[in-house]
Amino acid sequence: MAGLNDEINRRRTFAIISHPDAGKTTLTEKLLLFGGAIHVAGAVKSNKIKKTATSDWMEIEKQRGISVATSVMGFNYGDYKINILDTPGHQDFAEDTYRTLTAVDSVIIVVDVAKGVEQQTRKLMEVCRMRNTPVIIFVNKLDREGRDPFDILDELEAELKISVRPLSWPINIGAKFKGVYNIYENSLDLFTPSKTQVTERVEIDNIADPRIDKAVGEKDAAKLRDDLELIEGVYPEFSTEDYLAGKVAPVFFGSALNTFGVKELLDCFVKIAPSPRPVSALERTVEPSEDAFSGFVFKIHANMDPNHRSCIAFVKVCSGRFERNAPYRHVRSGKIMRFAAPTAFMAQKKSVVDEAYPGDIVGIPDTGNFKIGDTVTQGEELHYRGLPSFSPEMFKYIENTDPMKAKQLEKGIQQLMDEGVAQLFVNQFNGRKIIGTVGQLQFEVIQYRLLHEYGATVRWEPLSMFKACWIESDDPQALEAFKKRKYQFMAVDRDGRDVFMADSNYVLQMAQSDYPAIRFHFSSEY
Ligand code: GDP
């Protein structure tokens, strides 16, 4: 039996992130094809929630179902065990994606060569930067007309605020695209548009090899040599250490749809990407190789079937060996629990597992015990720090329209907030409940789910607000004075912490300059 360390070292747990349409689903599918996890293209369903579907509730439910099915995809590739964690592309579910990023050890960012860095990618990169997550960038759709690769590199650096280092380089682009030179392996891959065909590789000794001229023509070969010289001059040599520290992002070019550049990406990825890393808990840093099992819940997904009020809690194993039916401690409640039917996700199938290792994700059927961020251990009092909640961007008052169902509503709101669908604040002045989200669609989902899963009907009332920020101060008097002055705009979050609800950017800026003793935080972890 392989030891714990071997199991840890062969694991690669990562997420692919991109702006919608850059090619995340296509790339995921091609990676699964290489891993033998699927056999036909088209097998991976996109979990995109389409904007047009917002009024069609069944459609949203269906789409949410797809997203649970594709939440984690595990497969073996050579000696490696790879876990891909899926992230919803739709920006209304950005919180979901942020939290998924707490459970991965590295990230692959997909960028469309024509569109460059788009808004959603920029935001997600901020989260990676906060956590020093190593990132690899895949510039996709080289078979289409796009931008000059040097311009793309400059844009990646400027927009994602990270140094980049190309590890492959395209020969032309669009209709004239001929292939990529793999800097990492010193090889030349020729492009043939194809959905399944394996790339044709030209054996070469080095960049001066005349076989390159023969393969792509003298003119393009000369340009390639010039480009590579420039790259070697401008970009420092690639350092795996800097990549692992989140300081430099290696860049690959290819076309996911044509399965081109994908295997090279994967081969480099398994070599350089980190195996499960130490995770910091409030109390101490936990090494994956410790004997005792520990893990945390990073995602909760409600059951699709409203008649079964059960959820799946997704637990990332952080240390030790997870075993089915072993007594584990749910730290927040202090309860000892045994998990009789933990599921793992291999290929496209979900099945009950007897054990899991650091880097793996286990799905635990749950009836309301778990909250996002909960820690499970073999007994130790540990609290993993999840990702902070970010200040939401849209706010509405939530109003009960059926007084007979107040209890159900309370429970429903409670559970949906545990799932991390949105954030709840209570205005201290008028006692009204405020729901904050990152997108309009979430209000619709909440209303729908409250009705269908809890039998509670609600109405939204508009609330014009710019930002909710957590406040604190070392000076209790200054804090009291501020709260008194702003009493109409003070709320508390679910943990009872003070939140200032600024109705405009101007008001917020004034408050910040008028009350220097107060610290304003835009995420809940400070
Ligand atoms: P996602 O929203 O990031 O998951 O993007 P998808 O993987 O669904 O891709 C969006 C669209 O781009 C689809 O129509 C894909 O077929 C297409 N696409 C993906 N990769 C490529 C590529 O390399 N070349 C071209 N021409 N189209 C691609």
Which pLDDT does position 309 carry in this prediction? 64
Coil, strand or helix at 485 = helix
Q: Is 140 in the pocket of ligand 1 (CB under 6 A)?
A: yes
Residue 412: CB within 6 Å of ligand 1?
no
Give me the pLDDT at residue 439, please. Answer: 76
pLDDT digits (tens, 9 = 90+) for 389-448: 777 888 999 999 998 999 999 999 988 888 777 899 999 999 999 999 877 778 888 898
Q: Identify the weakest region by mean pLDDT among 80-94, 311-325, 419-433, 490-504.
A: 80-94
Measuring from atom 6 of ligand 1, which residue has the nearest CA? 23
Helix or strand (DSSP H, E) at 170: strand 168-171
Percent of the chain past pLDDT 90, that is, above it, reads 61
pLDDT of the residue at 20: 85
Site to substitute for ligand 1 among 18, 26, 51, 144, most atoms within 8 A of C-beta? 26
Give the integer Cα–Cα distance in Å for 46 and 189: 29
- Radius of gyration (C-alpha) of the chain in whole angstroms: 25
Distance 285 CA to ligand 1 centre (A): 40
Q: How far apart are CA 490 and CA 484, in angstroms?
A: 9
CA of 102 to the centre of ligand 1 (A): 26
Query: Residue 86's closest CA among 465, 327, 295, 348?
Result: 348
Ligand 1 neighbour 143 (Cβ under 6 A): yes
Could you tell me if the CB of 24 is within 6 A of ligand 1? yes
Token pair recorded at residue 59: 């459609």
Q: What tens digit of pLDDT does each residue of 271-302 get?
A: 999 999 999 999 999 999 999 999 999 988 76
- The pLDDT of residue 474 is above 90: yes
CB within 8 Å of 158: residues ≥ 6 apart? none
pLDDT band at 131 (very low <50, low <70, confident <90, very high): confident
How far CA 493 is from CA of 257, 316, 488, in Å, comes to 45, 26, 15
In this prediction, residue 123 has a pLDDT band, given cuts at 50, 70 and 90, of confident
267 is in an annotated binding site: no
Q: Which two tokens stand for residue 406?
A: 């107040």
Give the pLDDT confidence of 181-240 residue by residue, as tens digits: 999 888 898 887 665 555 678 888 888 999 999 999 999 999 999 999 999 999 999 999
> Ligand 1 centre from 198 Cα, in Å?
19
Please, are residues 16 and 22 in contact by the beta-carbon 8 Å criterion?
no
The per-residue pLDDT for range 91-112, each reduced to its tens digit, is: 666 777 888 898 999 999 999 9
157 DSSP 8-state letter: H
Mean pLDDT of 496-502: 94
Tally Cβ neighbours within 10 Å of residue 492.
14
**Residue 53 banded pLDDT, cuts 50, 70, 90:** very low
Residue minimizing CA distance to atom 28 of ligand 1: 257
Residue 90 among known ligand-binding residues: yes
Q: Listing from the earlier edge strand, what are the strands of the sheet with 458-462?
A: 458-462, 394-400, 433-437, 423-427, 490-492, 498-502, 467-473, 518-521
At 186 the pLDDT is 87
The verdict on the CB of residue 141 being under 6 Å from ligand 1 is: yes
Whether ligand 1 lies within 6 angstroms of the CB of 20 is answered as: yes
What does the alpha-carbon distance between residue 105 and residue 133 come to, in Å, rounded to a whole number?
A: 7
Please determine, for residue 67, whether its predicted confidence score (pLDDT) is greater than 60. no
Ligand-binding site membership of 23 (annotated): yes
> What span, in angstroms and rounded, lies between the C-alpha atoms of 123 and 523?
14
Measured by CA distance, the residue closest to atom 10 of ligand 1 is: 21
Closest CA to 426 of 521, 504, 494: 494
End-to-end Cα distance, the chain = 43
Q: Is the ipTM of this complex over 0.90?
A: yes
Answer yes or no: is 18 a known binding residue.
yes
Distance CA 17, CA 125 (A): 9
403 annotated as belonging to a binding site for a ligand: no
On whether 133 is known to bind a ligand per the annotation, the reply is no
What pLDDT was estimated at residue 40? 63
Q: Rounded CA gap, 16 and 397, in Å?
A: 35
Q: Domains, the chain, ranges and CATH? A: 10-96+104-272 (3.40.50.300), 279-377 (3.40.50.300), 394-521 (3.30.70.3280)
Q: What is the DSSP letter of 43?
A: -
54 pLDDT more than 50: no
Q: Which residues pair with 286 in a beta bridge?
A: 279
Residue 120: CB within 6 Å of ligand 1?
Answer: no
Alpha carbon distances (Å) from 248 to 134, 165, 166: 8, 7, 10
How high is the pLDDT of residue 368?
79
227 is in an annotated binding site: no
Q: What is the pLDDT, as a whole number, of residue 373? A: 87
Report pLDDT for 51. Answer: 46
Which residue do the tokens 């109409």 mark? Answer: 488
50 CA to centre of ligand 1 in angstroms: 15
pLDDT at 285: 95
Using DSSP's 3-state secondary structure scheme, residue 168 falls into strand
Kind and range of the H or E element at 365?
strand 361-366
**pLDDT at 340 (0 to 100):** 94
Q: What is the average pLDDT value for the chain, to the nearest integer?
A: 88
Mutate to test the pocket of ligand 1, among 257, 258, 260 (most ligand atoms within 8 A of CB): 257
What is the DSSP code string of 258-323? Answer: TTBSHHHHHHHHHHHSPPSPPEEBSS-EE-TT-SS-EEEEEEEEE-S-TTS--EEEEEEEEES-EE
Per-residue pLDDT, 58: 53
Q: Is-contact 182 252, C-beta < 8 A? A: no
Other beta carbons within 10 angstroms of residue 206's beta carbon come to: 7
pLDDT above 80 (res 169): yes
Instruction: Decide: 357 and 294 in contact? Cβ < 8 Å.
Output: no
24 is in an annotated binding site: yes
Model confidence at 492: pLDDT above 90: yes
Helix axes 440-454, 406-419, angle to 10 degrees: 130
Q: What is the value of pTM for the model shown?
A: 0.83
Which residue owns the Cα nearest ligand 1 atom 21? Answer: 257
Task: Tell whether ligand 1 has an atom less than 6 A from the beta carbon of residue 126.
Answer: no
Q: Could you tell me which residues come within 8 angstroms of residue 178 by beta carbon, excluding any fewer than 6 positions away? A: 171, 172, 190, 191, 216, 220
| Residue 39 annotated as part of some ligand binding site | no
Q: How far does residue 59's CA lie from ligand 1's centre (Å)?
A: 22
Question: Rounded to whole angstroms, how far apart are CA atoms 494 and 392?
Answer: 14
Q: For residue 48, which atom of ligand 1 is closest to its CA?
A: 2
